[in-house]
A and B are shown apart, each in its own frame.
Chain A
Amino acid sequence: MSDQGTLATVRRGLALSPELRTGLGGTIVLAVLQMAGRVAIPIAVQQGIDHGIRAAGGPHLGVVARIVAFTLGALLISTLCGYLMTRRLFTVSETALAGLRARTFRHLHDLSMLHQQSERRGSTVSRVTSDVDQISQFLQTGGVQLLLASGQLLVSAAVMFVYSWQLALVVLVAFGPAVGVVRLFQKRLRAVYQASRERTGVMLGAIAESVVGATVIRAYGVAGRTQARLDTSIERLRLAQQDALRTSVTSFSSGEIGAGLALAGVVVVGTLLGVDGELTVGQLTAFLFLVTLFIQPVQIATDMLNEAQNAVAGWRRILDVLDVEPDVADPDDRGVPLPEGPLSVRFADVSFRYPGGPIVLSGVDLSLAARKKYAVVGETGSGKSTFAKLLTRLMDPVGGEVSLSGTPLTSVRFSSLRSRVVMVPQDGFLFDATIAENIRFAEPTLTDARLRAAFTELGLADWLAGLAEGLETPVGERGEALSVGERQLVALVRAYVADPDLLVLDEATSAVDPATETRLQHALDLVTRGRTTVAIAHRLSTAEAADEVIVVDAGRVVQRGPHAVLVAEEGSIYAKLYASWLEQTRG
């Protein structure tokens, strides 16, 4: 897909951003007018030389003055048109690109690649930052130039043909090889620019890792190793940049050679023509000026085409993302809301594999009743978190079906699903904001009083009171200014205020101390009575308190039932797990 040609990409891009075409007609008219003004200069030179300077009986000042005055007017209009044209172009293109940026951002959130991380984060971010910047930068500088250059090219070519079709042909022939060379280089250019974009992504990833992992790198004294990797990625980017530049200069210089050929050809052929009386000195002089006017845009155009390759590479990366249909799509209008009331769950022969990986869940067949509390236990890597993600439709199973209260999850509208089913993921993420803002993330209209009440209801009022700045305490990046347990408390309150009918907790209190945890559990029991809760936990205290326990092993549900029953099944996985739990907590 990303090997698509430039034109195809541009066409695809224009189809996706029709705003780019707004008022294009007017913009082009203005551009042509601006160009016409530029061509006025060589015409003025020709007229001035032929009718003024070399007028019979010596230079005629009046004629020259009249020509100059007239051209001045043309120049003024051209400048004005230039201003209006650029203004229009920038407004339209920046508006369209802002739309594109916002759309891509939203689309990325709709794709599961973000949390499945099929791509490195730095690279994903660059799709809504530097890739779009690349297009904008090109449009702001190169785009105008390219537009003007093409205009100038056309107008000056037309005027050249008016002056002398023979000379015009000479010019075109002279540039023939250059056009061929430039075309030849486009493909290679695309490749080298792509390489330098990719290496930028790799470098950013390496820098991000060295920053996020700074403490571990220090603790293990492996800064040298990290630096070596950074240096490699920095160096590889530099080499790619140099490669791209070398290629683009080579392609550019072919236009320069074309220019030399054109000038030489025009003078030689023009002189021969003039000797035969078919051309005046003024005409030949004007023609030389025209050739310059023709050469300039050819040079600019070859240069800008190189830049364009860079922008198109960015555009292509964006379009590639927008082309991916959300694998877990919101049925939206075609969907239905969840039935009112507490939710029951049904997994019908569900299986799952991560893209390109082995099966991690298979033949999961189970029903969970509404209003009950379930605990999911099992060894590390057995598939518990995967189960939770399927239950909340962060992913769709590769086989079988998940339904809530009889409604297949895939047909539930997201607006209904996300407000009634909430999960606290294993690594609860906090935004770099205050505690209050983090909790309001779930419920933006929450008053401070309600917020405080939520803490009280969960038995966390004391903890909140212990914070110097209370609700306004900043939690730092990813919540790092709080202790790990404290982060979990905030994430839990956040889920609690969302007031879901099905609450899924994936190790939501794994780092909280036992006293706080049991208090919290108790409080949660009181306030979550009436809703369905699924809690994943290593600590079997959660299982003991649940109505039923589901035991997962190597991707299969191997046992389910009330704690008391499962413990009694001698030699069972759960019995062993529980024995070990007892051993560790009662030691």
Chain B
Amino acid sequence: MLGRGLRVLGHAIRTEPRLFTIGTIGSSLFGLLIIANSYVVGWVIGDIVVPAFAEHRVSTGQLALVAAVFLGISGLRVASIFGRRLGAGFMQFRMQARYRGAVTRRYLSLPPAWHQRHATGTLLSNANSDVEAAWGPIAPLPFAVGTIVMLLGALISLFATDWVLALVGATLFPGLFGLNLVYSRRMSPRQIRVQQTRAKVSAVAHESFDGALVVKTMGREADESRRFGVFVDELRDSLIAVGRLRGLFDPLMDSLPSLGTLAILLLGAWRLRTGAVEVADVVSVAFLFTVLAFPVRAIGWVVAELPRSVAGWDRVQAVLGAEGDLAYGEGTLSGTGPAELRFDRVSYRYAGGPEVLRNVSFTVPAGRVVALVGATGSGKSTIASLAVRLVDPESGTISLDGVKLPDLALSALAGAAAVVPQIPFVFDDTVRGNIALDRPGVDEDAVRAALSLAQADRFVAGLPDGLDTAVGERGTSLSGGQRQRLTLARALAGEPRLLVLDDATSAVDPRVEAAILGALRGADAGASILVVAYRRATIALADEVVYLERGRVVATGTHAGLMASHAGYRDLVTAYEKAERQ
């Protein structure tokens, strides 16, 4: 643990050598000044105070010198504190920022399949508290390094003073180290437990607040509080366990240097008698032990933080080293206008689950509208995700204008194909930002045209700041249908060559839908469209219907043809009329 922890720290030092050097120099200076201070005190007592008291007089020059020395040391110490604290702190903040950037970069490049396997709460704590934990020991690190320098300096000066008194230091300092080690070893499992429990508390809070509406409508606030309470109590207990250990070690740690001072007094008296040392020496050494007490703790802080640091580092590394990226090719699509989408014997399963698509084959010819029809859970959304390569099939190929999707560059693919997901996702941004997404070529005119095509222009005009109205986190200040229209406009604004609508027009008037499809189909600058729909009107607009049952394409053809030939299809799309007749 210690070795791994130090390696993690070594990595930080190599990354930020400049700040580390500043911090360490500051801290070493600080430590040496502490030693110097003790000797100055000894010198003042022995060489100035004792003679002055004996002779009952003192010169102003001497007093001025003493004052100047103390103030000088104090000034240097202030400088050293700035160096140590700012060096260490800035280094820590930089490392945190650097790794937060790296982790989030990874999040953005890992594919949706990976995201599905990891809870939002966990990913949040990876980027936040795990990064924080990994670089936790940096703050006291230069201080600790400085302390080691100081202890070495202290030992040397002790031996220079008197070997007997030095022996006290030689026993005491390793003792302090040892105690620190024992402490950190005992502490680390407790700290890890605290960290884990914290994550659980945060996950429950996240989820519970996410589902607040359901909690409230069902009146389960008390039960949710109980559920939360279990983890809160667990956290309380593990924090108390940490506190107890700290309560045991802290006073021990405090009293060790005091023991040293007492030993010096006793041994000093003996050495004085033998004439080996002078009063000033005893005073200096005793003073040294008193002021050592605090800095020595810094080593303990670093050591105590190491287990947490390693745990955090491992979790961060798990993200940084995660595999399964979708590799993108270099390919681009030639030509303009609608692109053809082709599924060829595509099968798919979600991680560890049963096969949800089997041997799915169909084509959306350039400029045509194909409707994807199937019962709830039959695999329509899965096909939509595959069509824009949010996931890759288990087997089979999907191609756009004859180019296999994996051969296309991400920018080429994203520029050519747009999907409107079944559940609209709205960014915490303005209406304009949500639609344009800073894509080149999506200017003010394109935004306005898309809004009016999606029939969102009227409600947007009614918003307090129009296009520049902020819509809130996930678009909460909008109604469900308004969010859907916004995401529809987003897709339209990019003038895609393939448009995939996953039940994305349920809240849109059918006339509007007809207008959208009409505006896109056929025209030179239009798009091929794959639309998931139940409405007969939408389906009737389609040139072809692909009918899906439990992940298989069971029939393809025109609406009229399928109505005539396929009973399952007929039952599905005429359900309303049937219900009415009954």
Contact = CB atoms under 8 A, between A and B. Distances in A.
Interface in A82-117: 82-83, 85-87, 89-91, 94-95, 97-98, 101-102, 105-106, 108-110, 114-117
Contact of B210 (A61, A227, A478): A478
Nearest to B422: A484
Interface of A is mostly: helix
A83 B53 CA distance: 42
A179 B49 CA distance: 30
B51 to A, nearest CB: 10
A98 B67 contact: no
A485 B376 contact: yes
A211 B239 contact: no
B438 interface: yes
A94 B52 contact: no
Interface string A195-218: 000001001110111111111111
B519 interface: no
Chain A, interface size category, equals 35 or more
Interface string B397-423: 000000000000011011100110111
Contact of A425 (B213, B225, B478, B575): B213
A475 interface: no
Interface in B273-301: 273, 279, 282-283, 286-287, 290-291, 294
B120 interface: yes
Contacts of B464: 357-358
A41 B260 CA distance: 11
A136 B194 CA distance: 12
A585 B376 contact: no
A511 B266 contact: no
A407 interface: no
Contacts of A526: none
A483 interface: yes
Interface residues of B, number: 180
Interface string B288-332: 001100100000000000000000000000000000000000000
Contacts of B111: 218
Interface in A447-470: 463, 466, 468
Interface in A61-87: 61, 64-65, 67-68, 71-72, 75, 78-80, 82-83, 85-87
Contacts of A220: 414, 418, 437, 439, 490, 494
Given A129-B205, A431-B211, A90 B240 contact: yes
A41 B258 contact: yes
Contacts of A106: 221-222, 225
Contacts of A65: 266
Given A140-B239, A234-B101, A115 B201 contact: no
Contacts of A241: 89, 93
A419 interface: yes
A207 B129 CA distance: 13
Contacts of B438: 222, 225
Nearest to A512: B376
A223 interface: yes
Contacts of A235: 97
A205 B74 CA distance: 44
A423 B472 CA distance: 24
Contact of B48 (A38, A128, A271, A486): A271
A246 B82 CA distance: 8
Interface in A554-585: 580-581, 583-585
Nearest to A76: B255
Contacts of B562: none
A424 B374 CA distance: 24
Contacts of A209: 427-428, 473-474
B239 A136 contact: yes
B187 interface: no
A381 B455 CA distance: 12
B579 A380 contact: no
Contact of B66 (A91, A267, A491): A267
Interface stretch (B157-165, B173-181, B532-540): B532-540
B18 interface: no
Contacts of A83: 247-248, 251
6 contacts: A59-B269, A86-B251, A219-B419, A385-B479, A481-B350, A584-B510
User: 5 smallest A-B Cβ distances: which pairs?
Assistant: A260-B74, A418-B219, A221-B414, A380-B481, A90-B243
